[in-house]
């Protein structure tokens, strides 16, 4: 008879998912030696090795791959139990586990604050990551909801748009194009653009737009943060394309200007996303409905004030 503990399975599931003791330790708020000890005890109870290390990389053994499937299923069942118990507690003590892409972080905390003012007993866990990391969290079923621009096509998800996400061309205030109107999009081929990393939603939308107009742009610096692009544009290193929501402060303080380019803004939408058939708690459902019904109105009011 196996003598396994839920804690051992939880630790193993995290190590197996990350294929890393250190990342599992960070996720579970444990020390790396404590994680290693739990794995050794689990292997001792089972009587088979679950992980093997070749060089600096960790791999699952055949027994490890088998146990990983069961540990993921058990983790999902425990998550469902937690949701069911939260339903009994009601909104007064609910939890919301949400991830947003980095560009959404410029407005998501404001919306979360409004939601928490309405439901003061709610506890929120907010993770801000790039698109690739958020998609992995969705795939691994680690979060209730995600906020992103373009929803993924290769995941079994439910997605609904809740607010416009206009992409604009920004320049430093002293750029010659700031004084022009109805700038032909072909004129942008003469400029250098500071761009997000490959795979980001903004980068993909930008590339689709220029490809549709048969324009090749000059790419300067590439970075994984919009903040770095804003600073570089202000320093005169080139132009940027970004969500207008991410540049509100710089536009209001005249540190950046939106160029009047034909075809812009590129109107995209923010989406709230969750795994299809995932059992959402009453708190997660309430926040989802809050976004769909009130987010755009609240952001317009905030902008006017």
Sorted by sequence, the CB contacts under 8 Å of residue 1 that are 6+ apart come out as none
**Record: fold of 86-163+269-304:** D-Maltodextrin-Binding Protein; domain 2 (3.40.190)
Is residue 94 within 8 A of residue 119, CB to CB? The reply is yes
Q: For domain 164-268, which CATH number applies: 3.30.450.20, 2.70.160.11, 3.40.190.10, 3.40.640.10?
A: 3.40.190.10
Nearest C-alpha neighbor of 132 from the set 145, 117, 148, 119: 148
Helix (H, G, I), strand (E, B) or coil at 41: helix
- Distances from the Cα of 284 to the Cαs of 122, 163, 197, in angstroms? 10, 18, 30
Q: Which residues of the chain have pLDDT under 50?
A: none
Own/partner pairs for 266-269, CB < 8 Å, 24+ apart?
266/166, 266/167, 266/205, 266/206, 266/209, 266/241, 267/164, 267/165, 267/166, 267/167, 268/149, 268/150, 268/164, 268/165, 268/166, 268/167, 268/201, 268/205, 269/149, 269/161, 269/162, 269/163, 269/164, 269/165
Q: What DSSP element (H or E) covers 36?
A: helix 32-46
Cα(254)–Cα(25) distance, rounded to whole angstroms? 45
Tokens 């072909």 correspond to: 186
CATH number of 6-75: 1.10.10.10
CB 96 within 8 A of CB 122: yes
Closest CA to 157 of 273, 76, 73: 273
- Which residues belong to CATH 3.40.190.10 in the chain? 86-163+269-304, 164-268
What pLDDT is attached to residue 92?
58
Give the integer Cα–Cα distance in Å for 300 and 305: 9
pLDDT of residue 86: 67
10 Å Cβ neighbour count for 192? 14
As a whole number of angstroms, the distance between CA 229 and CA 255 comes to 13
- The closest of 203, 199, 63 to 136, measured between CA atoms, is 199
Closest CA to 133 of 97, 96, 99: 99
pLDDT at 260: 96
Q: Are β-strands 95-101 and 218-223 bridged in parallel, bridged antiparallel, or unpaired?
A: unpaired
pLDDT value of position 243: 92
CA torsion 238→243→249→251, rounded to 10°? 60
Sign of the CA dihedral with 104 first, then 106, 109, and 115 last: negative
- For residue 300, the model assigns a pLDDT of 67
CATH 1.10.10.10 placement within the chain: 6-75
Q: Provide the β-strand partners of residue 218.
A: 192
Q: What is the pLDDT of residue 199?
A: 79
What integer pLDDT is reported at residue 240 of this predicted model?
Answer: 96
d(CA 276, CA 156): 6
Residue pair 271/161 in contact by the 8 Å Cβ criterion: yes
Claim: this prediction has a pTM higher than 0.75: no
Integer Cα distance of 194 and 157 in angstroms: 32
Task: Give 202-257 pLDDT, tens digit per residue.
Answer: 888 899 999 999 999 899 899 988 999 999 999 999 999 999 989 999 999 999 99
């Amino acid at each position: 008879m196996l003598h396994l503990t839920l804690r051992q399975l939880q630790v193993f599931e995290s190590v197996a998912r990350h294929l890393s003791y250190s990342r599992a330790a960070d996720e579970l708020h444990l020390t790396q030696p404590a994680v290693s000890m739990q794995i050794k005890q689990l292997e001792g109870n089972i009587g088979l090795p679950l992980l093997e290390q070749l060089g600096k990389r960790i791999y699952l053994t055949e027994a490890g791959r088998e146990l990983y499937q069961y540990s993921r299923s058990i983790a999902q069942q425990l998550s469902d139990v937690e949701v069911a118990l939260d339903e009994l507690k009601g909104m007064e003590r609910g939890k919301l586990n949400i991830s947003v892409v980095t560009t959404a972080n410029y407005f998501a905390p404001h919306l979360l604050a409004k939601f928490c003012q309405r439901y003061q007993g709610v506890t929120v866990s907010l993770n801000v990551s790039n698109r690739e990391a958020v998609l992995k969290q969705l795939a691994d079923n680690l979060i209730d909801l995600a906020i992103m621009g373009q929803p993924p096509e290769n995941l079994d998800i439910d997605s609904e748009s809740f607010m416009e996400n206009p992409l604009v061309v920004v320049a430093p205030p002293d750029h010659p194009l700031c004084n022009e109107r109805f700038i032909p999009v072909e004129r942008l081929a003469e400029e250098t653009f500071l761009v997000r990393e490959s795979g980001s939603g903004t980068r993909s939308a930008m590339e689709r737009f220029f490809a549709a107009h048969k324009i090749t742009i000059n790419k300067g610096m590439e970075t994984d943060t919009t903040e770095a692009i804003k600073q570089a544009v202000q320093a005169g290193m080139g132009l940027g394309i970004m969500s207008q929501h991410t540049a509100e402060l710089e536009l209001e303080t005249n540190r950046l200007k939106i160029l009047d380019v034909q075809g812009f803004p590129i109107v995209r939408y923010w989406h709230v996303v969750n795994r299809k058939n995932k059992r959402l708690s009453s708190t997660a459902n309430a926040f989802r409905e809050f976004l769909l019904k009130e987010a755009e109105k609240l952001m317009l009011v905030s902008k006017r004030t």
